[in-house]
Amino acid sequence: MFAIVDCNSFYASCERIFRPDLINVPIVVLSNNDGCVIALTSEAKKHGIKRGAAYFEIKELVRLKNITVFSSNYALYHSISERIMAILAEYTTNIEVYSIDEAWLDMNGLSDRYALACQIRKSILDWVKMPVSIGIAPTKTLAKVANKIGKNKPSGVCELCPKEYTDYILSNFDIADIWGIGRQLSKKLNIHGIYTAKQLSEASDRWVRKLYNVGLERTVRELRGEPCIDFETAPTPKTIIVSRMFGKKLYNQSEIGEALAKYCGHAATKLRKNHLVAKNMTIFIQATEGYGKNGNNYSCRYNFDNGTDSTIFLSQMAHRMLEQIFRPTKKYLRAGIMLDQLTFKDQTQYNLFNIAETPKQDKLMAVIDKINNKFGNDKIGLLSAGINREWKMKQEHLSPGVKGRVKLYH
DNA sequence: TCTGGGGTCCTAGGACCC
DNA sequence: TCTGGGGTCCTAGGACCC
């Protein structure tokens, strides 16, 4: 038995925690660079705004309807998320943090699951002021269905049980809302006359597999109540990507270099947090115009002799790689780095003849992490990541940082 | 003028090997 | 005159998720 705990309009609700005056007021939260809407409250939805809408297109509506706008404030959202996960951990040790605003709970062997879910929901609301919905079912896919139903219930909780009730729900559930089925697949299934979750659950495994792939077959089995997707306690990342649009177009190699150095810092911090090292790095820059197979994207890939988690080493490599792909006549919109071939630091094989890592550098990185943990991200970093940071993204509606705010719960 | 960022899984197709 | 077949590994691209 699985339960999925999902925060309602998470980013918008986070902003509301510190602004009780915004209860029942429509709120939208914008993507990095204030580009488009990534989260919105039900009140904002009523004005016809959709997730993904371009901000410049709804600006007038926002003004007319008095909708409150926030730039996304990830430091705040991560901090709230950690508090919620800590509350969940008080109820069960078997918890899989699935995303910043969602977690799976293992409910096997628990008797009154519905009452427990109501209790969890109340704790999170009382202590963090975050509204959540909880779905309970024998498979992850069904739990997601239940969660969606729970969002429209006053209790916020839905358990798919008994079978007649599940059948009733699935008969009225649009396939486009099923976890794992996106726009393309639902269109494809509609052509074959499949519109509801119930119809999809009755399709034959072989037919479904032939129509698309094993992933869809798993979804179908899960809809029938057969668990195919396991509980994963601490998934380790396989790739780490850091990429951002710039606040304005850049044509200067040194500014792009600064941005890349900063992204290397973020990526390396994430490596160290997960006790990983990377053996491979790709950097990419996106120009405003271009041609060829990859259009306006230019990238460069490099394999290290030894896995690394050093900000210094990664930044130096990124700098050299940028020299190879940078074209001076172009203007650039975005840059990014990707790390892959990640392995655990204590299991990695080093090249005997080229030991790049030194204990000294490890110590330095540990100190940097400690300082940034205590005083907030980016308090200390490499000079190569720049000080003025004119390329920094636009965030005109940012709420104050989380450090120094009132404690939310004891 | 202006449309995010970070991930996973699966498949097809090419290169290469014997 | 006739020119195989099976396997692996890698990469790119498509679909999905939050």
pLDDT for residue A357 is more than 60: no
Name the nucleotide with the smallest C1'–CA separation from A35: B3
Å from the A141 CA to the C6 C1' = 38
The first and second tokens of residue A273, run together, are 């947090």
Q: Is it the case that residue A387 has pLDDT exceeding 80?
A: no
pLDDT at residue number A407: 45
Protein residue closest to C14, using CA and C1': A184
Protein residue with the closest CA to the C1' atom of nucleotide B2: A56
Query: For the residues A115-133, what does the mean pLDDT come to?
Result: 97
Band of pLDDT at residue A176, cut at 50, 70 and 90: very high
Judge whether residue A311 contacts strand C, using its CB and a 7 Å cut-off.
no
Residues of A assigned a catalytic role: 102
What pLDDT was estimated at residue A408?
A: 45
Strand C and A182 CB separated by under 7 Å: yes
Say how far apart CA A95 and CA A196 lie, in whole Å. Answer: 30
Distance CA A215 to C1' C5 in A: 30
Q: What percent of chain A has pLDDT over 90?
A: 69
Query: What pLDDT sits at residue A376?
Result: 67
Q: Which of A325, A332, A278, A270 is nearest to A305 (CA)?
A: A278
Cβ of A281 less than 7 A from strand C: no
* pLDDT for residue A295: 61
Nucleic strand C near CB of residue A178 (< 7 Å):
yes
Tokens found for residue A384: 């190569």
Whether the CB of A217 is less than 7 Å away from nucleic strand C comes out as no
Token pair belonging to A204: 């034959």
**Band of residue A321 on the pLDDT scale cut at 50, 70, 90:** very high
Mean pLDDT over A99-128 rounds to: 96
Structure tokens at A284: 């990419």
Residue A38 has pLDDT above 90, yes or no: yes
Instruction: Return the pLDDT at A410.
Output: 40
What is the reported pTM? 0.88
More confident residue, A139 or A212: A139
Average pLDDT over residues A70-97: 94
CA atom of A199 to C1′ atom of B8, Å: 27
Q: Which two tokens stand for residue A260?
A: 């890349």
In the DSSP assignment, the letter for residue A401 is P
Distance A348 CA to B9 C1' (A): 25
How big is the CA angle at A73 (ends A275 and A37), to the nearest 5 degrees? 115
- The reported pLDDT for the residue numbered A150 is 97
Q: From the CA of A210, how many Å to the C1' of C2?
A: 37
One-character DSSP codes across A313-373: HHHHHHHHHHHHH--TT--EEEEEEEEEEEEEGGGPPPPTT-----HHHHHHHHHHHHHHH
How many whole angstroms separate alpha carbon A49 and alpha carbon A314? Answer: 41
Q: Which of A55-59, A93-97, A314-318, A391-395 has the lowest mean pLDDT?
A: A391-395
Q: Is A320 exposed, middle or buried (0-12, 13-18, 19+ CB in 10 A)?
A: exposed
How far in angstroms lies nucleotide C14's C1' from the CA of residue A332? 26
Q: What is the mean pLDDT of residues A19-34?
A: 93
- Strands A68-71 and A27-30 come out as parallel
> Which residue's CA shows the smallest distance to C1' of B8?
A238
pLDDT in tens, A194-210: 999 999 999 999 999 98
pLDDT of residue A389: 72
| Across A27-54, average pLDDT | 93
**C-alpha A165: how far from its chain's center?**
32
Over the range A150-175, which residues count as b (16 or more CB within 10 Å of their CB) and which as e? bbeeeebbbbbbeeeebeebbeebeb
Stretch among A34-43, A263-272, A365-374 having the lowest mean pLDDT: A365-374
- In the predicted model, what is the mean pLDDT of chain A? 89
C-alpha A257/C-alpha A249 separation (Å) is 14
Q: How far apart are CA A113 and CA A119, in angstroms?
A: 10
Q: Do the Cβ atoms of A3 and A117 come closer than 8 Å?
A: yes
Give the model's pLDDT for residue A135.
98
Q: Is the CB of A183 under 7 A from strand C?
A: yes
Please state, in angstroms and as integers, the Cα–Cα distance from residue A266 to each residue in A19, A280, A283, A369, A382, following that order.
Answer: 30, 16, 14, 11, 11
Q: Which of residues 81-140 of A touch strand C (CB under 7 A)?
A: 98-102
In chain A, what are the domains? 8-72 (3.40.1170.60), 77-223 (3.30.70.270), 240-385 (3.30.1490.100)
Sheet containing A332-344: order of strands: A240-250, A332-344, A276-287, A297-308
Name the strand (E) or helix (H) holding A27: strand A27-30
